């Protein structure tokens, strides 16, 4: 590929005016776009598995004992951002090609066993002659928490298929991001996992605080060229541009997908005996739709696959959120679920009509990601079609909603039965409570309470009420009457005919009892 050779006439980017430097960057990106378009016009060719047998047979624990030596980190003495690599092996059997762009010099990064430590059960691998086997992926470091640590922290990891993860200051890895989701939860099609096959990383400056990288995506039905501009910080930001080219018709193209885990919490009882009250990387899907309505959907670990669609046009954003930040609600000193990041997706160009799709998959434990959220355009992508994407995705601890609307802080449900009245009709009803807190509720009282706006499809609702909470919030409570149909419920609080809370949306299935 031409990008593996130096470009004639392109000077060192750091010495050029910004506009000229950006033009040079665009030239590199155009090379990747051209390559993606060329690939889409040819039959798909799966990468060959050339990994040595010794690396195929290792376990997860052994793979974790192969560690990149931080003293060998690239740029560690030249920039505030440094690069470390992942060894091929275990599940990562098709290495990616990594290239470095340093001004007008573009060079491929070779594999070197000297960059790694082979500890414990991995020690025998140090005697193997692997040759140039490539790399499984890479991670980027920056002093996010320099007041706590003397070393640069990881803030981004690209490893496996088209997955990448971001963290900001004080956060630990939780949910993942993907370049694309293809035919996820599509009844008549098997899900396809496109892969980033090659990367180009621009060598950052001494105090860059930002890094740009390019990626080539390939799969049986689609190819793509990606540009990521990563800015680490309290909220680590990735600005993403992509040019996509369809090889084949694609029934469902998931844009800006987020993948997470919800095993149990407020909406799902623990499936096994566990001292922890909550186990999840995310507890809800938040949407800011094209009408500027804020919608909160609590996550659930269902008994069967469930897919929910939120029809919209030109959404302002969506994300998987970890709202509960109190350690005492998790009690997990190992996983630190209270420090898992939320992540928001913000379109930087209009996406037109379509829907946000939420996929909830049954999971027996926390080792499986079972939550996926992404945008699906109303128009399916056809073979030969080209599509452009431009959006921003970033980590955060608080909600991206800067308005005064009250937020959902708790969703709980249980039998409506009153102790001692087991024979009453209430024994077959379900009680649901939704607690709201926020500035818009301040000043309201029992004499001037908010009102509950509630609507339901597919089931019957009884006894809707609003009650004050001791801490100043308000509780919406209602019952679901027994029946065979799922209940798709929406509610929010109002005052003086104006919404004072975000919209809570939930689908209750009779099988959830």
| Domain layout of the chain by residue ranges | 2-396, 407-512
Nearest to 356 by CA among 324, 326, 314: 314
**DSSP SS3 for 24:** helix
Q: 53 phi and psi, to 5 degrees?
A: -55, -35
Q: 44 phi and psi, to 5 degrees?
A: -70, 135
Give how far Cα 60 sits from Cα of 53, 165, 259, Å.
Answer: 15, 19, 21
The pLDDT score that the predictor gives to residue 225 is 98
Structural fold of domain 407-512: Immunoglobulin-like (2.60.40)
Contact 260, 282 (CB under 8 A): yes
CATH of domain 2-396: 2.70.98.10
The pLDDT score that the predictor gives to residue 23 is 56
CA 278/CA 201 separation, integer angstroms? 39
The pLDDT score that the predictor gives to residue 18 is 37
Following CA atoms 319, 320, 323, 328 in sequence, which dihedral angle do they give, to the nearest 10 degrees? -160
DSSP 377-431: ESSPBPTT-EEEEEEEEEEESS-S--SS-BEEEEEEEEE-PPTT-TTSGGGG-EE
The pLDDT score that the predictor gives to residue 6 is 29
Q: 14 phi and psi, to 5 degrees?
A: -65, -20
CA angle centred on 260, ends 257 and 327, rounded to 5°: 140
The pLDDT score that the predictor gives to residue 25 is 66
For 191-204, write each residue's pLDDT tens digit. 999 999 999 999 99
Structure tokens at 342: 């939320």
Residues (pLDDT < 70) of the chain are: 1-25, 147-150, 420-425, 513
The pLDDT score that the predictor gives to residue 5 is 31
Exposure string over 118-130, b if 16+ CB within 10 A, otherwise e: beeebeebeeeeb
The pLDDT score that the predictor gives to residue 367 is 94
Find the length of the chain: 513
DSSP 455-512: EEESS-EEEEEEEE-TTS-EEEEEEEPP-SS-EEEEEEEEETTEE-BPEEEEEE-GGG
């Amino acid at each position: 590929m031409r990008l593996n050779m130096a470009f004639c006439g392109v000077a060192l980017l750091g010495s050029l005016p910004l506009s000229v430097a950006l033009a040079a960057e665009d030239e590199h990106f155009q090379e990747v776009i051209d390559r993606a378009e060329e690939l889409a016009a040819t039959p798909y060719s799966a990468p060959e598995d050339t990994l040595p047998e010794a690396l195929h047979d290792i376990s997860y624990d052994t793979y974790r004992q192969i560690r990149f030596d931080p003293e060998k980190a690239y740029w560690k003495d030249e920039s505030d951002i440094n690069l470390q690599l992942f060894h091929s092996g275990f599940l990562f059997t098709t290495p990616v090609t990594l290239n470095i762009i340093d001004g007008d010099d573009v060079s491929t990064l070779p594999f070197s066993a000297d960059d790694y430590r082979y500890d414990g059960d991995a020690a025998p691998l140090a005697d193997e002659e692997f040759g140039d086997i490539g790399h499984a992926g890479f991670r980027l470091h920056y002093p996010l928490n320099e007041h706590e640590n003397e070393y640069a922290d990881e803030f981004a990891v690209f490893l496996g298929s088209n997955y990448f993860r971001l963290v900001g200051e004080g956060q630990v890895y939780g949910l993942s991001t993907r370049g694309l989701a293809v035919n996820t939860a599509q009844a008549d099609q098997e899900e396809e996992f496109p892969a980033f096959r090659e990367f180009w990383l621009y060598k950052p400056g001494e105090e860059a605080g930002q890094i740009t990288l390019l990626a080539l995506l390939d799969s049986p039905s689609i190819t793509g060229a990606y540009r990521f501009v990563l800015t680490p910080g309290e909220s680590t930001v990735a600005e993403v541009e992509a040019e996509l080219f369809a090889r084949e018709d694609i029934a469902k193209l998931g844009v800006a997908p987020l993948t997470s885990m919800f095993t149990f919490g407020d909406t799902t009882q623990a499936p096994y005996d566990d001292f922890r009250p909550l186990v999840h990387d995310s507890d809800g899907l938040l949407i800011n739709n094209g009408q500027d309505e804020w919608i909160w959907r609590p996550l659930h670990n269902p008994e069967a696959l469930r897919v929910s669609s939120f029809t919209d046009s030109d959404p302002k954003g969506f994300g998987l959120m970890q709202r509960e930040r109190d350690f005492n609600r998790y009690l997990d000193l190992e996983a630190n679920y209270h420090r898992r990041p939320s992540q928001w997706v913000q379109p930087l160009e209009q996406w037109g009509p379509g829907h946000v799709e939420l996929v909830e998959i049954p999971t027996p434990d926390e080792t499986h990601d079972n939550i996926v959220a992404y945008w699906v355009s109303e128009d399916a992508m056809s073979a030969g079609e080209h599509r452009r994407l431009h959006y921003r995705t970033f980590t955060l601890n608080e909600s991206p909603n800067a308005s005064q609307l009250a937020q959902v802080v708790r969703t709980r449900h249980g039998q409506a039965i009153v102790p001692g009245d087991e024979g009453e009709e209430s024994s077959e009803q379900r009680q649901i409570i939704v607690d709201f807190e926020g500035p818009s509720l301040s000043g309201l009282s029992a004499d001037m309470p908010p009102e509950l706006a509630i609507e339901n499809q597919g089931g019957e609702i009884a006894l809707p009420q609003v009650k004050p909470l001791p801490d100043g919030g308000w509780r919406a409570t209602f019952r679901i009457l027994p029946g065979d149909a799922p209940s798709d419920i929406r509610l929010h609080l109002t005052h003086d005919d104006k919404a004072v809370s975000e919209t809570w949306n939930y689908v209750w299935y009779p099988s959830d009892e």
